[in-house]
Each structure stands twice: as structure tokens, then as C-alpha cells.
Chain A
Amino acid sequence: MKILIKFILAVLVAAGVGAVSAYMMIEKKSAASAVRNGSWAINTNIGAQDTDPYVKAHVALHALLALNKSEAIYFVAAKDAAGEALRGGCTYKVSGQPIDARWWTITAYGADDFLIPGGEGHFAVSVNELGTGNFSFPIAPALSGDSTGLATGEAAHFSLLLRTYNPSPSLLNDPGSAALPVVTKENCNG
């Protein structure tokens, strides 16, 4: 009986340690393999068959059904230009220049990787609204109906995802050097 309890305990502890360490390494190794560009991180191995298993697991958790780089490159920002985590209670200014892809869009997601409740009408901004020149737009907890920007509702933290479809060869080959939007914090409530 004692041996059985020891065995069950061993399995439970091993399962917990194994799963937690796997999750931590998935996040760490995926971040380590990403290319950095300002606030943005890019992993061009998404969707590829020969990708590191930790990156594949990260895709399953955070970017399920993402396209491989020949079709789209995804840039993720969880921090502002000063390196601080993006917070829902703050307002930010995003400024940038045209992105070298056929079509692109920036979307705000909550910590659960889903669109943020309260952000209706302001889930994303794209080249359709921003045009083909230099641009800037706000990120704030709430925005008026017809303004261009991203609303973060009551999210405590959020991240930005820049999707670039059919990226140009230069963006595809060297995403770390591309001129990407800069996310600057303006002020915070509390």
C-alpha cells in the first residue's frame, strides 16, 4: 500500500514538474528563437515542417492556424518602446511608416489571446484606414465610434499583433531591419 502511494505521488509530482517545465521552456525557447525589432518579436519558423518542437508547441498555444512565412509574417509586441509591458489602463501612440507587404493590419489581443471585450469597432487598424503614407494612431481603453485606433477595454494587459500578408522579399529575408511601428506610452490611469 505504501509503495502504491509512493508510486502515485511520484507520477503526480513528475507530471506537474514535467508539464510546468515544458510550458516555461516553450515560452523561453520560442522567445529566444525570435528575431527582435524594437518592441516587436518575429518568428519566421511558424508553420514550417522543420521547426523546433518548442516553437511548434508555442504556435499551438498562441498562434494556432498561423500561415508560414511565404504567405504571412507575424510581428508580436507585448512591450512599448521603453521596454515596459503594454497595460490596458494606459494610452499609447503608435507611429510608423508604410510596411512593405501587400496588405497589413495591427490587432490588439487580451492576455488570453482573444479580441478584447469592450473594443468593438476598434479591434484592429489596417492599411485600409491608415493609408499608404506615414501614420499614427492611439491605443486607449475607449475610443469614440468613428475614430481610428485600438481600444483595450478593461484588459489589464494586452499585446499587439502586426500581420503582414505577402511580405516583400526584403521584409521576408530581413524582418529584423524593417522599419516597424513604434509604440510610445503617453499616460496611465493609476
Chain B
Amino acid sequence: MVNLLKNIGQWVLFVGVLAVGMHFATVRFLPDFIMSRLHDKLTRQVPVNTMQYPARPDASARAVVKPSPDLIYAICAYDVSEGPVRVTSPVPDSYWSLSAFANNTDNFLAINDAQAGGDRVDLILSQPGRKPINPDMLPVIEAQTPTGVILTRTLITSEEDFPALNALRQQATCSPYVDEAP
């Protein structure tokens, strides 16, 4: 490498090769970097695997780009590396969805109110490649990556409905699931 840096032509070639590597590394790792930054931001406020209920989005909402002012969110930074996580939420009569995102931004789970099949969703997010014992016989979703984000979206159908929808949203939970056989 020392010889490579001595000659200007070789130096330019070295910079070019390094720049190409940097280019592809930036593209490849940018999603993971941004998701990890969000994960860190969320877990600075509450422990990992805990649901948070951000304020209704307005111009001061800066945690995630393009927040929708028509929705209220519940968000959980998950980490299944130490064990599965149980996610529960009531399902309102209006538009609602529960989604999960891998650490590279892939949306590997999306369930809406019409697909929920009832007034409550209760499921287990498991480690990639590991089936939990699951004594409660809950639906199991395999996380695409050990860490990521779970998000519920609740449509604000009207100002009159807001208090009730907000109360429902705050019943969504995310917590470690003890999967040992009883």
C-alpha cells in the first residue's frame, strides 16, 4: 500500500477504488444505520420491547419522516435476540393496522382491522429461525431481523371519536414473552 500511495496516478486509482467501496457500503448500510438510530432514539425514552404512544403528529413531530396527521401511532422498538416478544392491541371499528419493520426497513408484517378477525390482536414475534414454545397457542410471526420496530396506525375518524380511539391505542402493548413450558 505504501508503494501505491507514492505515485499520483496510483493514488487516484486507490481513491477511486475506495470511493466505489464507500458508495456501495453507504447504499447497503444506510437503511440499517437509520433504523438503528431510530431504535436507539426510542429506547432512550423507555426500555426495549415497550410500547410508546407519541403525541398526535404536528409540525413539532420529528422522530420519523412524513408523519401522518390523520393517524395516531403506537410504536415499539423490539429486540427478540434474548427471547420472543408478545404484541397485543385492541382493534377499533375504523381503519387500523399493526405492522413490523426489520432493521433494514423491510415491512415484514402488516395486519389491518379487517384482517384481524376480531376486536383484539395478540401475537408473538419470535427470533429468526427459532420457534417459541408458545403455551398460549398464539399466532407466531418470525421477525426478519433480531431488532426492528413495531407500529400501530389508528385512523382519527373525527375529532369526536379521537378520545375513544386514543384510549384504545394506549392499550396496545409490547413485552417480553416467557416461552418456558409451564
Contact = CB atoms under 8 A, between A and B. Distances in A.
A10 B18 contact: yes
30 contacts: A3-B2, A3-B5, A10-B14, A13-B19, A15-B19, A17-B19, A18-B18, A18-B26, A47-B107, A49-B106, A49-B108, A53-B27, A57-B26, A63-B65, A64-B35, A65-B99, A65-B151, A66-B66, A68-B110, A71-B97, A103-B155, A113-B65, A114-B66, A115-B59, A118-B59, A119-B59, A120-B59, A128-B158, A165-B112, A166-B95
Interface of A is mostly: mixed
Contacts of B114: 166
B22 A22 contact: yes
Interface string B10-33: 010011101111111111101101
A158 B23 CA distance: 29
B13 to A, nearest CB: 10
A7 interface: yes
B87 to A, nearest CB: 16
Contact of A6 (B11, B30, B99): B11
Interface string B142-172: 0010000101000101100000000000000
Residue of B2, B65, B68, B110 ringed by the most chain A CB atoms within 10 A: B65
Interface of B: 1-2, 5-6, 11, 14-16, 18-28, 30-31, 33-35, 38, 57-59, 61-62, 64-70, 95, 97, 99, 101, 104-108, 110, 112, 114, 144, 149, 151, 155, 157-158
Given A53-B28, A61-B30, A48 B106 contact: yes
A25 interface: yes
